[in-house]
Structure 1
Amino acid sequence: MHQNRLLAAIMFTDIVGYTSLMEHDESEALYILEINRQIIQTALKQYNGHCTKEIGDGTLSTFHSTVDALACASKILTLIAQYPKLNLRIALHLGDIIQEGNDIFGDGVNITARLEPLAPCNGIAISQHFHAQIQGKTSYQFKSIGFPTLKNISSKIEVFTWHPSYSSNGADKALSSVSRLSFSLTWLNYKTAFFVFLLALGGYFGWQQKWLSLNTTTITVNTPSNVPESSIAVLKFANIGASLQNQYFNDGLSEELLNLLARIKELKVASRTSTWALPKNVTSAMVREQLNVNYMVEGSIRKSNDKVRITVQLIETKTGFHLWSQTYDRKLDDTLVIQDEIALKITTSLKLLLSAQSLQALANNKQVNALAYEHYLKAKQFLRQPKTKTSLLAAIESFNSAIAIENTFELARAGKCKGLIEFYQLSLSNDDFQSAEKNCLAILKSNSYQSEIYNSLGELYLVSGQFEEAESNFQAALTLDLSSVDALIGIARAQTKLTNYTIAEQYFIRAVQTAPNYGETHEHYGSYLFYQGRYTQAINEFKKVILLNPYYGDAYNSLGAAYFANGDVNRGVQSFQKSIEINENHEAYSNLGTAFFIKKNFVQAANMYQQAIDLSPDDYRYWGFLAESFEHIANKKFQMNDAYAQAIKRAEKMLVINDKSNELLVSLALYYAKINHHYQARNLLNKLKNKDLLADSLYTMSVSYLALNDKVQALNYLSKAINKGYDKELAFADESFMELSKHKRFKELTQ
């Protein structure tokens, strides 16, 4: 029979004292059993669970979501409260299962069953894996009971329990209500609200990094006093040999070894970004201080033709003692085998007992053709370079070469997916998106469980507006690699799009803590803070990015936007100019254009927007900004209408890919209203009227209604925008509302 491997949230329930009840009153016991069955079936239906089987008085069920599983368990405990003789213990775990027909089995099922006796009566026991995924999503106060011995389970698993008595008020809600924070964007007029779209990472597409290589600056962070016992960092291996052309091989092999160790649940592995940000010739003491790890792996690689020599050492950071070292002289074809041997040797040296899941992760590291693997490592090197069409095309070409040699090379397919998505984000071409979508979705046929695959799928869903699917895939990636910065940032970005801002910020902070010396974590967190209207904090994060890399132009652009929003116009303009000085980029040109627009220098503003268009001709925003500038320049009506038409054409293309973007719909409605396409404008505005919009979007809707000569709705949405935090003085100063300046309701709103 065909078997499928799945990652699932697993629930096991068991009736407390059922055997004794059966002995004393069989009819009562059977009645209780039936009530239990009905309650569980009701809860499963409500929370999208599937009951796989009943085992005596126990039940085994699965869910696609840990949140649904916990909510279901909570519902069951609530419902059984009316039946005093029905008492349950519930266990929850997140792990691998094997599905065969209608049955499931495997490590995940075994662990869940062993957790159940540890749950309090009418309470819940969960594993560390499950606990990690519900952080920030529940108000339940789970208590750790340590690492109890689980029968026939060799790995150490931390167990957490919950009971109503743990709560200070005697009861908890299953899921905390996540506050929907409104963005308070204090702009000089509605035009400047479009700064929101012009951070390098913060636009409608969730821009990927355009990251230059890090310098050796590090940011000091407060690390916990207790260093995790089984924690380790993998330093970049040294290149031994005359040819610098082999550096891609050394870097790639170091990263792949780190990724392999990260799949071992018993290890806590420092992220590549933090580790590689450390200076050369770093001491073990510095590694311990900066990364909070007990062990480090370092080594060297000499590559010559079809031979490779890899020397590796395992070092205790506290003492600097070498716990193990070895040299491997092998053929290139054995590279992956060597990685497996190193990983197993490290775990043996640290006296770790590996779970079946960890052993499976190592077993998944299949033999790959040496030439295909070289192409793969070259492609990864191109992906680490600044994001340009040239570097991304080179990466995609190398991934294609790897796949042509080794058609089942799943990591190469995941890398190609990532490269195609990033290329689309630069080109904004529908054809490029369709190519990315086709290649990424093909990965779903894979039976491989590797974080890189789920991260790539998460990016696809994020770009196409399928935010819940994106979050689910990033969560799967994080489960497979708890130190994955890409997964942490991906979850945060998805939660932001889902307006779960509290949860999003928790994951942004986790990303910063995981990789404090990696500029992208600070850049993403800074962008998030910027959109929350927390400009001073955003400025601090963008300064950290620049501290780590003084020659990263996009960071100066983001810093300039934060300065500008915070009222420091001169520093804002200086930062935009510095960004362009380092490397010409469309965001900085557009932001400079907006600065000129505010100063009523509309000709210069139009020139800046045209520069942005020259660099990114398919970005609808810049055409819209250009059209607004032409509105204020004499004899430019034809050019204004043409620019709006170009903006509409490009925005409609984006709508085909992602019709869930409120920002896109708001902008498109405004463009239609400006050129008197009333039907199209009202159709879009009607779609938006029941949505939970941010202050700047509500304000733009108000301007759109004003362009449609609907003063009542214009004032209604102006009121909503102000209630959401839009600055009254800015609204009063906006020339768009000049004709309403004497209107009684307008005066009341802006007083």
Structure 2
Amino acid sequence: MGSDDRRRKQTYRIDSSLRAGFRLNDVVVLPQNGTIIAQETEKNLSPKAMEVLLYLCQNRNRLVTTESLLSFGWGDTNANRSNLTHVISDIRRVLNDHKESPTFIQTMPRKGYRLIAKISDKDDLVTHSKTGQEQVLPESSATEQETDHKTWHYSLAILKNSKLFSVSMGFMISIWFLIQIFDIIFPIMNVPEWGLQVAVLILVVGLPLALLFTWLKEIKFKKLLFSKQTADRKYFFRQLAVDFTFIGVISLAVGWLSFFLVESIEREVVITDNVFDFTMTVPVQNELIAVLPFRFQEQSNLPIYFKSTFQGELILALSNQEYFKLVSERAINELNEDFTMNDVLRRLGARYIIDGQVIDDGTNATVIVNIIDTESSITAWNARIQKNISQILELQKEVYRQTFNAMALIADQPADDFVFINTNDFKAYDSYIQGKNILANTTNSQELEQAQLHFLNALQLDTDFSQAKAGLCQTYLDTYEQTLNINSFDLATEHCASLTGNEQLKAEGYIALGNLYRLSGDHSLAIDNYNAALEISLDALDAVRGLAKSKIAMSEYKLAGGFYRQLIRREPGYWRNYLEYGDFLFTIGNYENASKQYEKATLLRPNDALVASSLGAAYYMNLDWEKAAKALERSITIFPNPESYSNLGTAQFFSANYSDAIKNYQAAVELSSDNPMFWSNLGDAQKYAGLKEESKATYNKAYDLVNEHMKVNPNDHVLLGISTRLESELNMCDKAQERISELTSQERDDPY
């Protein structure tokens, strides 16, 4: 045996008195037998574990390093530490010791272990397991007092060891991931804003339930400790106290959050209910017909845009007959998918409905059309019309013709010659339908450009296609209103003037002319044309919309508000009605009610950038900065648009954050370079940022654009206001004074 081995043996020699047996607190250790007697129960301990226990006992109250234990037990300080961990766990199991509240072996993190129990001679205690004598309880010692932790530290250790802690952490991480997933999926599925809150509420309430279930399972095991020694019972009750406290705190937090979520959900539901409860019951009108959406096969070979415009084009075609009035497409589509005949009667007041389905087998397309009496639920007329898929245009014409004649038959009136689709070129009609589909759903200039291309293509294929001319007219008007591009206004004037010469499009033509006169500032002529459209058809709701806008320009705000409320009553499910009513309220300075209308529009059209931008502007004027920033950022995320960039820039400007304001105003003018307001705002930000030369050039650009736009409407008070401010910035004091006098003489009721 070498000298190193002899030194190791000498250093690690165990006292013979310990090998003979001893008492450790109230436990008897018999090394020679390899057993431990605790609570009248004899337990075996492996030789390796017994040697480690003896080594710790020989070094009682002293730190024994991990390396020293590895060297003693395994002869190598680099031995696998998991061997030592397993042995210590085995010793604790037999001694019924607890890592968090030890009475025998104390763990010194990253250092080693220390035996803290009292050692005494085994003769002081009867060592036979069948004596039945009363056990001696462990005495308190200075060492134990030294190892007592602060109460909070002790409780925290117990909590970390509890399954409740790990379950709660895992559950909260799962909730966070699910919320992220819901936040992405719900808008795609058109789930309302309160739907996400309901989902979060369910998840949050599930947390204390999961903790309670875990605790009940764990308590079954912990009950076994009742029969064990006093130290175990003390640990058990301490664990119970910590568990109850933790569950109580979590329950209180969940209760508070649930109360907040329920209150928020109720507010959202009330808003939603208000949106759809303007007209709960409408008197039945015998001459009123509702054209419902037609059903298509899931695996249809027909173009998607054909399916999305089929209902609207049928309504537009049938509006040329004089026997029945038709419910607007927007009001019909407000109904739930599972509507009943009673819903049609109660919500729309329609005596008849037209519905049907379109079937195609890859070669032929078949349209089944029904006209149903809602009061009796009897089918008044039905037809089955079939054509080759390549003859879609002829198929639609035949559907329109037969349905038109059936309506005359029900009204007991003679059928007239009916021609609505005035083209025989299928490609022209196909382009027209695609343009109509885009025009019906767009709120940005890029999509308007796409619609314009489709209408131009249709007219290139058939120059006499009047419906395509009407679509192009409306596209140019919408483009001018969004971008203030003068060329768009000139093109609208060119294409809209000829529409009134077509009998079928006369009402649409009068509305287009009314819009042209309104945009040029001639509101008297605009109102005359809107009224002419309403004389032809009381269902020309765009004429009512035009009247509201003209009345705003004429400062007749009471009448304007009445027209917008009329639109909402007649089409309570159409998002644009709430958006434009909100714009009106915003214009007259009623920002609080404007935000309410924008919120309703958001519920109906949650992923629209313009709606989100308008809502952000209203929140900003209500001084709700946090909501304003979120709404504007959401608008830009949905679709980068100049209005949102400008509104966000204004919010930053008034917060004296001029550098960011400049960036957002620049983004706005890049997207809408013809808008003088955006250029003027950019000039203001540059001026306050100390960029005097840049601001002067920007002001000149804005002033040139104002003068260009005033050629269309020289009396536009908004343009006059911008012009006055720019003239003062550019040191044109005399001109500015003239403008001020002109604006003052108008005595406008304007918050600005």
Q: TM-score, normalised by structure 1?
A: 0.59
* CA–CA separation in structure 1 for the residues paired with 2:585 and 2:329: 25
Change (3 A) 1:520 1:215: farther
Q: Where does residue 692 of structure 1 map in the other structure? A: 747
In the TM superposition, residue 345 of structure 1 has moved relative to its aligned partner by 0.5
Who is 2:355 aligned against? 298
Answer yes or no: is the 8 Å Cα contact 2:318–2:404 preserved in 1. yes
Query: Which amino acid is the alignment partner of residue 346 of structure 2?
Result: E
Q: CA deviation at 1:325?
A: 1.5
Structure 2 distance, partners of 1:297, 1:532, is 42
Change (3 A) 1:551 1:420: same
Q: Is the 8 A contact 1:228 1:268 kept in 2?
A: no
Deviates more, 1:521-530 or 1:402-411: 402-411
- In structure 2, relative to structure 1, the CA distance for the partners of 1:504 and 1:306 (3 Å cut) is farther
Is 1:378 matched up with 2:434?
yes
Q: Is the 8 A contact 1:262 1:482 kept in 2?
A: no
- CA positional deviation for 1:484: 2.8
Letter paired with 2:357:
S
Residue of structure 2 equivalent to 1:348: 409
User: 1:324–1:303: structure 2 CA closer, same or farther, 3 Å change rule?
Assistant: same
In structure 1, the partner of 2:671 is 615
- What's the CA shift for 1:366? 6.1
- State the partner residue of 2:534: 478
How many Å apart are 1:489 and its aligned residue?
Answer: 1.2
Residue pairs, 1:488-499, within 5 angstroms? 488-499=544-555
2:372 counterpart SS class = strand
Pick 1 or 2: higher relative contact order, CA cutoff 8 A, min separation 6.
Answer: 1
Kindly provide the CA deviation profile for residues 48-80 of structure 1, in whole angstroms up to 9, marking residues without a partner as x.
xxxxxxxxxxxxxxxxxxxxxxxxxxxxxxxxx
Q: Decide which of 663, 677, 680 is 2:735's aligned counterpart.
A: 680
C-alpha spacing 1:402/1:592, structure 2 compared with 1 (3 Å): closer
C-alpha distance in 2, partners of 1:642/1:250? Answer: 51
Shift of 1:676: 0.3
Match of 1:597 in 2: 653
Q: CA deviation at 1:654?
A: 1.0
Q: Deviations along 1:488-535, whole A, 9 cap, x unmatched?
A: 212211222222222222221111111111100111111112223333
- 1-structure distance, mates of 2:341, 2:471: 32
Q: Secondary structure at the match of 1:626?
A: helix
Q: Distance in 2 between matches of 1:536 and 1:288?
A: 35
Letter in 2 for 1:343: F
Match in the other structure for 2:284: 227
Do 1:316 and 1:322's aligned partners in 2 also have CA atoms closer than 8 Å? yes
Please tell me whether the aligned partners of residues 615 and 631 of structure 2 are also in contact (alpha carbons under 8 angstroms): yes
Q: Cα–Cα, structure 1 residues 638 and 529, in superposed 2: closer, same or farther, change >3 Å? A: same
1:408 pairs with 2:464: yes
Indicate the SS of the match to 1:469: helix
1:352-404: per-residue Cα shift (whole Å, max 9, x none)? 558xxxx77x7463653141333322221121232444432332232233333
Q: Report matched runs for 1:516-531 at 5 Å.
A: 516-531=572-587
* Equivalent AA in structure 2 for residue 680 of structure 1: K
Q: Which residue of 1 aligns with 2:632?
A: 576
Q: Is the 8 A contact 2:282 2:348 kept in 1?
A: no
Distance 1:213 1:520, change over 3 A: farther
- Residues 443/270 of structure 1: CA separation in 2 closer, same or farther (3 Å cut): closer
Question: 1:689–1:282: structure 2 CA closer, same or farther, 3 Å change rule?
Answer: same
**2:571 aligns to what?**
515
The one of 325, 331, 339 aligned to 2:400: 339
- Aligned equivalent of 2:607, options 551, 567, 573: 551
Q: Measure the CA separation in 2 of the matches of 1:532 and 1:603.
A: 31
What secondary structure, in the 3-state scheme, does the structure 2 residue paired with 1:461 have? helix
SS of residue in 1 equivalent to 2:626: helix
Task: Note the residue ranges of structure 2 that are not aligned, 5 or more in a row.
Answer: 1-187, 193-271
Q: Over the residues paired in the alignment, what is the CA RMSD in angstroms?
A: 2.9
Amino acid at match of 2:318: L
**1:349-748 equivalence runs, <5 A:** 349=410, 351=411, 353=413, 363=418, 365=420, 367-371=422-426, 372-446=428-502, 448-634=504-690, 636-697=691-752
Q: How does 1:61-140 map to 2 (within 5 A)?
A: none
Does 1:322 pair with 2:379? yes
Structure 1 residue 638: Cα displacement = 0.7
User: 1:392 & 1:557 partners in 2: Cα distance?
Assistant: 19
Which deviates more from structure 2 when the two are superposed, residues 374-383 or residues 435-444?
435-444
What is the deviation of 1:262?
Answer: 3.1
The one-letter code of the counterpart of 2:378 is: F
- Counterpart position of 1:85: none
Give the C-alpha shift of residue 337 in structure 1.
Answer: 4.4
505 and 266 in structure 1: CA distance in 2 versus 1, 3 angstrom threshold: farther
CA separation of 1:370 and 1:229: change in aligned 2, threshold 3 A? same
Kept in 2: contact 1:213–1:385 (CA 8 A): no
Task: Determine what percentage of the aligned residue pairs are the same residue.
Answer: 25
Q: Hey, what's the Cα distance between the residues in 1 that align with 2:362 and 2:738?
A: 65
Tell me the residue number matched to 1:29.
none
CA contact (8 A) 1:223 1:292 kept: no
| Aligned mates of 2:282, 2:431 — CA distance in 1 | 42
| 1:569 alignment partner AA | W
- 1:303: how far off? 6.3
Please give the alpha-carbon distance, in whole angstroms, between the structure 2 residues aligned to 1:382 and 1:440.
Answer: 19
- TM-score, length of structure 2 as denominator length: 0.59
Preserved contact between residue 300 and residue 360 of structure 2 (Cα < 8 Å): no
Q: Which runs of 5+ in 1 are unaligned?
A: 1-211, 698-751
Indicate the SS of the match to 2:665: helix
Cα contact 2:677–2:702 (8 A) shared by 1: yes
- Give 3-state SS (helix, strand or coil) of 1:278's partner: coil
Aligned to 1:239: 296
Distance 1:290 1:215, change over 3 A: farther
Q: Which residue of 1 aligns with 2:17?
A: none
SS of equivalent to 1:294: strand
Q: By how many angstroms is 1:334 displaced?
A: 5.6
For 1:245 and 1:556, how far apart are their aligned partners in 2?
Answer: 34
Verify the 8 A CA contact 1:669 1:685 in the aligned structure 2.
yes
Q: Contact conserved, 1:296 with 1:314, CA < 8 A, in 2?
A: yes
Preserved CA contact (<8 Å) 2:500 2:507:
no
Report the number of matched residues. Answer: 479
- The residue type equivalent to 2:610 in the other structure is D
Cα distance in 1, alignment partners of residues 610 and 450 from structure 2: 22
SS of residue in 2 equivalent to 1:657? coil
**Closer, same or farther: CA 546–241 of 1 in aligned 2, 3 Å:** closer
Mapped to 2, the partners of 1:289 and 1:224 lie a distance apart of: 5
The CA distance in 2 between the partners of 1:652 and 1:215, in whole Å, is 46
Cα distance in 2, alignment partners of residues 675 and 367 from structure 1: 55
Pair 1:283 & 2:344 matched:
no
Amino acid at match of 2:467: L
Q: CA deviation at 1:695?
A: 3.8
Are the counterparts in 2 of residues 488 and 511 from structure 1 also a CA contact under 8 Å? yes
Q: Distance in 2 between matches of 1:501 and 1:304?
A: 56
How far has the Cα of 1:620 moved from its partner?
A: 0.9
Rounded to whole Å, the distance in 2 between the matches of 1:214 and 1:456 is 33
SS in 2 for 1:660: coil
Return the alpha-carbon distance in structure 2 between the equivalents of residues 225 and 400 of structure 1: 41
> Which residue does the alignment assign to 1:257?
314
Where do 4+ consecutive residues of structure 1 move more than 4 Å? 212-218, 302-308, 444-449
- Decide which structure has greater helix share: 2
Amino acid of the structure 1 residue aligned with 2:572: P
1:225–1:288 Cα change, 3 Å: closer
Kindly name which structure, 1 or 2, has the bigger radius of gyration based on alpha carbons: 2
Contact 2:588 2:750 in 1 (8 A): no
- Give the drift of 1:630: 2.5
1:95-153 CA distances to partner (integer Å, 9 max, x unpaired)? xxxxxxxxxxxxxxxxxxxxxxxxxxxxxxxxxxxxxxxxxxxxxxxxxxxxxxxxxxx
1:181-239 per-residue CA deviation (whole Å, 9 max, x = no partner) reads xxxxxxxxxxxxxxxxxxxxxxxxxxxxxxx9988987233334522222221112223
